Each structure stands twice: as C-alpha cells, then as structure tokens.
Amino acid sequence: MPFSTRNNVLTRIAQGNGYSTPHVMQIATTAITAAAAASGFYTVQLCFNYIGSTPAGTLTGLQLPPGLTNTLNLVQMFGATRSNTTSLYLCWLYQIGTLNLASTGNQLTHDAATFPITRTQLGAATQPLTLMPVIYLTTATTTTAPILRLRNTTGPAAGYTDQDGNSIIGTIDFTFPAAATAVQSGFILRLETGDSGVRDISQIDVTTAAAAGAATVFGLEIIAPLGNTLASTNITDVMTTLLQMADIAAGSATSGTATTYLAILRTGATPAIATGGLNVYIQAVLNTT
Amino acid sequence: MGTVLNSIDNIIASSEDNGPFTRFYYSTIGTATTAATTSSGYVNAQRFPNPLTMLSSFGAGITGAVFPYVRCMSDDPDSHFICGIEYDMGTLTISGNSFADGVAMPTKVVRGTSLQTASQIAFLVVNSTLTATTPVITITYTDQGGTTSNTATLTLPTNPVVNSSFLITPHLASGDTGIRDITNMSTNVGTGGILKIYGLLILNIVGNQAAFTCHAEDPLTVPHIMWKVEAS
C-alpha cells in the first residue's frame, strides 16, 4: 500500500516503522589525488567504511535492515564534513568490474552479474538504469600515470553501452592525474560527446600501464542529493523538498546478483577532498501493508 | 497506474508508487567557448552536448512526468544553469549556406487546454566550430503569436568554437518574446561549421554562486512551472 499523504508517512513513523542507519563516520587521513582535465575535472570520493588511517580491505556500504519485505523509503538525510566545499550524494554503486592498471590491453574483469541494472521507473517495470561510470583506486599507481579508453583496441571493439543501448567504441583518453595516484582516489570516466551515462562497460583498454595499480569500476546511481556542505552540516528533507521518497532498495541485475554498495559520493573542488571527516546518517520509513 | 499530480501528496505518492526518474548528469567542455557580444546575444552561454534522454515508454496509464527537483554544480563560479526540454528547431551548414528544418515547438496542455508553445528561451548553438569571419546569421521564424516570416539577425564572433551558444531573444523582432518555429537560416560568409537552434521549455534554473557549490530550488519554497515530459 503506497503512502497516500504526508500525514500517512508521519503516522507510520509514529507507529515504529521508521529506520535510521547507524551514524557513519569516516576519517580519511591520507590525501587522495585530485582530478585533472584529462581525468574528468571532478575529484570523487566514494565513502565506504574507513575509520582511522587504514581503509578497510573489504568495502562496506551503509547498512540496511535485513529481511525487508516492503519498500523502505527515504525521508531524511544528515551529512557533515569538516573540509571545504563539497557535495554529497546518497547513491547505489554497482560493481561493473575490476581493472588491472599494470598491464596494457583489455584489463577489465567484468563482474559475474549481467548488466544493465534495472528498476521500475515512471511505472514501467525493468527499465535499464543509466549509470555514471566511476573508477576507484584500490591499489595506488606507481611510476607511470596510466592511460585508458573505453574500448578494446583489438578490432577495435566497443567498450561500453550508452544510455540508449548503443555499443560505443571509446575514442577519448582518460589519463590518471599522477604517476602516483593515491589509493581511494575516484574519478568519473570520460564518455563520448553526446553520451550522458552507461548501461554497462564491457571492455577497458589500458594503453599505457603503470608499474603497479588496480581499480574497481562502478556504475553509480543517484538516490538523492545530500546537500552542499561548506565545512558544516546539512540536512536534506527528502519528503517535502525533493518530493521523491525513493525506495532505498538496489536495482536488479539482468541476470545474476550484482555486487552493490549503498554509499556516499562526495565530489567537489580538487583541494576539498584531501583529508577530513564525514558524518552521515539517513532516515527512512517502512512502507507497511 | 498513473496518478494525477494535482497535489504535493500525489506527487510524493506517485514517486513512491511508480518509481522516480533520477539521473546523475556529468559533462565537461574541454575547450573554452567563444564569448558573446552585443550583436550575438549579450550573455555568454555554453550548451553541454550530452543531453539526458527520457525513457522510451512509461507504465500503463502514465502520460508524462514532471521534474520537481533539479540540482546543479559547476567548477565555474558566478554562473547559472538552465535545465529544459530541448527542441532541435533547425540546422545551418555554413558550407553551402544550407538550411535543414527541425521541429517546431510542441503543443502542451496549459490551464486545461492544448496550446501551441513558443520557446521560453532559444539559443543559436555552434554544433561544429565555424570557419567564418564575423558571420551575419539571419533567422526567419514564426513568433509566439503565430506571425510568420519575422527575422532575427546575429553577428557572431569570428570562428566561434563548438558548444558556444548565443542567446537569440535580444535579437527577435520588436515585441516578440519567443519562437514557435524556424523556417530559414542563412549566413553571409563562411566556409565551414554547423549552427543549430535549440528552443527550450524551462524545467528549472539553478544558480551557482561559487565554484563547486550546489543550489536547487524546490517547488514548495520556490514554486515553478513543471512542464510535463513525455516518453521518448
């Protein structure tokens, strides 16, 4: 039974059907590497679990209550940072694959799940999502700044499926901003002119390899913005500001089970994401029958 | 099942019931675009060349969607964004001085009646960098009231680069506020490049007072017209 009124939402919260995530606190003590023009301009931080000086070896996103049988709908988010202008977003990250940056050629190992990711949109079931491609360094690069393209030079063959389902052979180089690009640095992969996102990435050609380096490639789906933070706090009223109480549940892979993380995307001016803390929690309400 | 979006509660309920359309948009223009002059729109503008595309179909009973919340961020301070439904109204290929007609502005239901719209704002956009020395572009159009064969003339800077955009509105015929249709475009000079005219119905205008700051006006505190967007 859908929420029919705002009063109905508040009633369900009063009935004990509200949910708050654990208050996530992250402290990055190591500066990540800022993006440059050839690496997409925007520095991106994907905020998984890490508290202290060492990031966790296994990524963990925000946790949702287990065993949900009804939708869990977002009503409010709180975010705080101690660094300069950044912008935070609640997002789903769908793991497209892993990338070896230490060898040339097609180095993408695709996740076992089959893309596109789908969900019901505007009443139409199983609609493919347009995802923003993000690359996240899991091993720092050394010696040489890697260069890659969204294609396989052999052929050449298509590297990605665009927002409309077209197979695209990438022509644009993505060059990492430094020979030593730090672990946990994130960047938005560059797409061809006219493309606004991807349904899937099938091949990534590393044309210049580093001596060492590895990354995970995600497709990013925005759930809701968490506001603009100027080294301060911000609260987003999802219900009456966005008018969009999205179901927090992840989309579904075409086949198999996608590796997913509910995470915070933080992006902004290049000096802003060097170091600093982040506090986030989100509140939702269970859609009871 | 569709829901008539005639109340705040109905918009919230429809989003929750039917699933929202949410997109993260990211675009870069790697080359500086060409500044406007008093004879070419006055205001500097860029068109980001990768528009979002709508779903090819909606669920049963759903005839359209509205966009209550648009949020933008840029590395460029002191600018603002216009997010709109864009209509490709015509193309001028400089080589050969060749015009190809595009679409007219659509009809939309306004106050319960289907009406022919005119552009709320229209831009002359460099689709491919021009090779032309201060080209004079003459645009023949049908105005907001249906009067045909009015003209607007813009003198562009020399060799404007791709994605440069020039506001047509200041150069419309006296008294005109918008364009229903483009019937011709021509240039007096030039050997290369492509110009397009895009008419927009505005979904939201978002300010960006400083670099990397986000601003959005929600429909409760800053009510705005929410044009219905159809599938495809």
| pLDDT digit string, tens, across residues B49-70 | 888 889 999 999 898 888 888 8
Q: For residues B4 and A231, which has the higher predicted lDDT (pLDDT)?
A: B4
Asked if A41 is an interface residue toward chain B (Cβ–Cβ < 8 A), one would say yes
CA–CA separation, B37 vs B154, rounded Å?
10
| pLDDT at res. A54 | 59
Between residues A166 and A42, which one has the greater pLDDT? A166
What's the confidence (pLDDT) of residue A247?
A: 81
Q: Name the more confident of B221 and B127.
A: B127
DSSP at A180: T
Find the CB nearest B20 among A5, A89, A246: A246
| Mean pLDDT within B203-222 | 74
Q: Please answer yes or no on whether B2 and A196 come within 8 Å at the CB atom.
A: no
What average pLDDT does range A217-227 have in this prediction?
88
What distance in Å separates residue B186's CA from the closest CA in chain A? Answer: 26
Q: Which two tokens stand for residue A240?
A: 């009456």
CB atoms B58 and A123 under 8 Å: yes
On whether any CB of chain B is under 8 Å from the CB of A55, the answer is: no
Residue B208: in which H helix or E strand, if any? strand B192-208
Work out the minimum CA distance from B56 to partner chain A, whole angstroms. Answer: 9
Paired sense of beta strands A151-152 and A157-158, if any: antiparallel
pLDDT band for position B216 (50/70/90)? confident
| pLDDT at residue A50, rounded to an integer | 56
The contacts of residue A158 (CB under 8 Å, 6+ apart) are A151, A152, A167, A168, A169, A202, A203
B59 located within any domain: yes
Q: Please say whether the beta carbons of B191 and B94 come within 8 A.
A: yes
pLDDT tens sequence across A100-124:
999 999 999 999 999 999 999 999 9
Contact state of A222 with B24 under an 8 Å Cβ cutoff: yes
- Establish if A125 touches chain B: CB-CB under 8 angstroms: yes
Residue A149 pairs in a beta bridge with A205
**Residue B223 belongs to a domain:** no
Q: pLDDT by residue (tens digit) across B89-115?
A: 999 999 999 999 999 999 998 778 899
- B31-68 in b/e form (b: 16+ CB < 10 A) is eebbebeebbbeebbbbeebbeebbeebbeebebbbbb
Query: Which of B1, B6, B8, B15 is the mutation pick for testing A, counting most A CBs within 10 A?
Result: B15
B25 domain residue, yes or no: yes
> A-chain residues within 8 Å CB-CB of B73?
87, 228, 267-268
Length of chain B: 232
Query: Who wins on pLDDT, B32 or A209?
Result: A209
Contacts of A124 in chain B (CB under 8 A): 55, 57-59, 62
Interchain pair B9, A5: CB under 8 A: yes
Band of pLDDT at residue B88, cut at 50, 70 and 90: very high
As a whole number of angstroms, the distance between CA B231 and CA B90 comes to: 22
Q: What is the pLDDT of residues A28-62, one digit of tens each?
A: 656 788 888 898 888 887 877 655 555 566 777 77
In-domain check, residue B219 = no
pLDDT (0 to 100) of residue B10: 86
| Position B48 in a domain | yes
Q: How far apart are CA A71 and CA B20, in angstroms?
A: 14
The reported pLDDT for the residue numbered B204 is 86
In a domain, B50, yes or no: yes
Average pLDDT over every residue of A138-155: 94
Q: Which of B3, B17, B22, B222 to mutate to test the interface with A (most CBs of A within 10 A)?
A: B22
Return the residue in A122, A173, A238 with the most chain B beta carbons within 10 A, the one to mutate for interface testing. A122
pLDDT of B135-159, one tens digit each? 999 999 999 999 999 999 999 999 9
**Residues 6 or more apart in contact with residue A109 via CB below 8 angstroms:** A97, A98, A99, A100
Angstrom CA distances, B218 to A72, B68, B89, stand at 23, 7, 30
pLDDT band of residue A181 (cuts 50, 70, 90) is: very high
Q: Which of B48, B46, B24, B73 is nearest to A188 (CA)?
A: B24
* Contact residues on chain A for B69, CB-CB shorter than 8 A: 241-244
Per-residue pLDDT at B7: 84
The burial of A65, by beta-carbon neighbours within 10 Å (0-12 exposed, 13-18 middle, 19 or more buried), is given as: exposed
Nearest to A228 among B60, B75, B214 (CB): B214
What pLDDT was estimated at residue A272? 47
Rounded mean pLDDT of chain A? 85
Res A271: pLDDT: 47
What range does the domain containing B64 cover? 8-208
Interface residue of B4, B10, B23, B215 to substitute, partner A, most A CBs within 10 Å: B23
Of residues B42 and B5, more confidence is placed in B42
Q: Decide if A223 touches B, using CB distance below 8 A.
A: yes
- The C-alpha atoms of residue A284 and residue B87 are separated, in whole angstroms, by 38
pLDDT over 60 at A273, yes or no: no
Instruction: Tell me the C-alpha distance between A52 and B28, whole Å.
Output: 34
Which residues of B fall within a CB distance of 8 Å from A234?
Answer: none
Count of Cβ atoms closer than 10 Å to residue A96 Cβ: 29
User: Is residue B215 domain-resident?
Assistant: no
Across the interface, whether the CB atoms of A242 and B69 are under 8 A apart is answered yes
* Residue A236 touches chain B, beta carbons under 8 Å: no
Q: Pick from B49, B62, B219: which is nearest to A123 by CB?
A: B62
Lowest mean pLDDT among A141-150, A268-277, B175-184: A268-277
Answer whether A80's CB lies under 8 Å from A278's CB.
yes
Residue A105: its pLDDT value, please?
96
Contact of A174 with chain B, judged by CB distance below 8 Å, is answered with no
> Average pLDDT over chain B, rounded to whole?
90
Q: Do A195 and B49 touch (CB under 8 A)?
A: no
CA separation for the pair B229, B209 (Å, rounded):
29
Peptide bond before residue B170 is cis, with ω within 30 degrees of 0: no
A237 to A58, A84, B66: CA distances (angstroms): 31, 22, 19
Residues making up chain A, counted from first to last: 289
**Rounded to whole angstroms, how far apart are CA atoms A103 and A123?**
45
Chains A and B form CB pairs within 8 A to the count of 157
Q: If we measure between CA atoms, which residue out of A23, A4, A33 comes closest to residue A187?
A: A33
Q: Is A152 on the interface with B (CB under 8 A)?
A: no
Domain ranges, ordered by start, for chain A: 30-63+86-118+125-229+255-275
The model's pTM is 0.90
CA dihedral A226, A231, A232, A236 (to 10 degrees): -10
% chain A with pLDDT above 90:
45
Beta-bridged to residue B99, according to DSSP, are B92
Question: Is pLDDT above 70 for A275?
Answer: no
Number of domains, chain B: 1
